[in-house]
């Protein structure tokens, strides 16, 4: 499956929620989507739904906590396409959603493994394919819940949410965005944090704040950044393309 005229984009956690909508919208826009799913059956179900929509995606098994599937995904992309134009680090877990005084070591480690270490391991494995692209970029799907400034603002509507493992993992992800952006600037590889906004998905189910929006709308901002001719680097952008306070 090759199409050197269209962007090649890997979306982790592409089988559900925002990742599914990102994959769908990218495919509709003509991109070659490599849809990563940790569970092959869920990946196949997502691909079937897209096929019903007249869209074709390249579905791969990819668990960001599993180095073997990361290596296989990197090899598949290098062998099949020879480059990667955009990496969308979307996959994440929320953990148990407990405040810091109740969080366990197990919850912290599992959440950081997926949301932080998984991003580093996958990104590093894909750097050779990103370097082979004429317009590479790395998009880390983050959350305003990881912003120390917003969480510390009593007027921010979500400032009472207390999901320590998740929120600390997104703050760590944002630091990685800044550090990767600085390191990769010399190679012309932009790195951004991007938030889809508060959306109704499996991850937000049970969240205390009402008003979660349509995940398709949250995906649109990520898709725009994946396909734009040029993007900034080292910033945290909302789904509207506005700067978010770190
Ligand atoms: N929903 C919101 O309000 C909101 C707000 C801000 C930011 N975000 C961010 O948006 C992104 C997508 O979240 P979502 O709301 O769409 O959540 P979701 O519906 O729960 O989807 C999460 C996706 O990540 C996958 N995943 C989890 N662990 C994985 C692993 N180890 N390897 C590979 N894939 C894995 C899930 O796979 P399974 O289906 O197998 O579980 C699923 O496909 C996340 O980064 C999240 O932090 C969401």
pLDDT tens digit sequence for 92-133: 999 999 999 999 999 999 999 999 999 999 999 999 999 999
Ligand 1 atom at minimal distance to the Cα of residue 18:
16
**Total tally of structural domains belonging to the chain:** 1
Rg of the chain over all Cα atoms, to the nearest angstrom: 17
Alpha carbon nearest to ligand 1 atom 1, residue: 199
Residues contacting 238, CB < 8 A, separation 6+: 144, 194, 195, 197, 221, 244
Which one of 81, 170, 180, 198 is the catalytic residue?
A: 170
Residue 40 lies in a domain: yes
Classify residue 113: in a domain, yes or no: yes
pLDDT for 48 beyond 70: yes
Atom 17, ligand 1: residue with shortest CA distance: 203
Inside any domain, residue 124: yes
The pair phi, psi for residue 131, each rounded to 5°, is: -65, -25
Q: Which of 81, 166, 180, 198 is catalytic?
A: 166
Place of tokens 């955009």: 86
Q: Judge whether residue 3 has pLDDT over 80.
A: no
Residue 1 lies in a domain: no
Can you tell me the distance from the alpha carbon of 123 to that of 177, in angstroms, rounded to the nearest whole number? Answer: 11
Atom 8 of ligand 1: nearest residue by CA position = 143
Question: Domain range holding 108?
Answer: 8-237
**2 within some domain:** no
User: How far from 192 is each of 88, 140, 182, CA to CA, in Å?
Assistant: 10, 6, 11
Contact 215, 243 (CB under 8 A): no
Residue 244 lies in a domain: no
pLDDT tens digits, 152-170: 999 999 999 999 999 999 9
What's 120's domain CATH number? 3.40.50.720
Give the Å distance between the CA of 77 and the centre of ligand 1. 22
Six-digit token string for 129: 């394919």
Angle, vertex CA 204, rays to CA 161 and CA 165, nearest 5: 55
In a domain, 31, yes or no: yes
Contact status, residue 226 vs residue 183, Cβ threshold 8 Å? no
Inside any domain, residue 82: yes
Q: Which residues line ligand 1 (CB under 6 A)?
A: 12-13, 15-19, 38-39, 42, 62-65, 90-93, 114, 118, 141, 143, 195-196, 198-199, 201-204, 212
Q: Which atom of ligand 1 is nearest to the CA of 13?
A: 43
Confidence class for position 44, pLDDT limits 50, 70, 90: very high
Give 209's contacts (C-beta < 8 A, 6+ positions apart).
Answer: 157, 158, 160, 161, 198
Q: Give yes or no: 166 in active site.
A: yes
């Amino acid at each position: 499956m090759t199409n050197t005229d269209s962007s090649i984009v890997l979306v982790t956690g592409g089988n559900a929620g925002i990742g599914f909508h990102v994959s769908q919208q990218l495919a509709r826009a003509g991109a070659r989507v490599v849809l990563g799913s940790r569970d092959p059956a869920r990946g196949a179900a997502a691909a079937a739904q897209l096929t019903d929509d007249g869209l074709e995606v390249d579905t791969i098994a990819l668990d960001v906590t599993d180095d073997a599937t990361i290596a296989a995904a990197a090899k598949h992309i290098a062998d099949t396409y020879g480059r990667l134009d955009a990496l969308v680090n979307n996959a994440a877990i929320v953990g148990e959603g407990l405040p810091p005084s109740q969080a366990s070591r197990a919850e912290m480690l599992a959440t950081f493994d997926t949301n932080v270490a998984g991003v580093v391991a996958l990104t590093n494995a894909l750097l050779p394919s990103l370097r082979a692209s004429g317009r590479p970029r790395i998009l880390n799907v983050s959350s305003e819940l990881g912003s120390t400034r917003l969480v510390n603002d009593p007027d921010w509507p979500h400032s009472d949410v207390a999901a320590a493992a998740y929120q600390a993992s997104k703050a760590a992800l944002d630091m990685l965005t800044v550090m990767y952006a600085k390191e990769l600037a010399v190679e012309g590889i932009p790195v951004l944090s991007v938030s889809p906004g508060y959306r109704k998905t499996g991850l937000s189910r049970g969240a205390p704040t009402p008003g979660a929006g349509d995940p398709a709308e949250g995906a649109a901002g990520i898709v725009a950044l994946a396909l734009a001719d040029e993007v900034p680097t080292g910033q945290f952008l909302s789904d509207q393309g506005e700067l978010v306070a770190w």
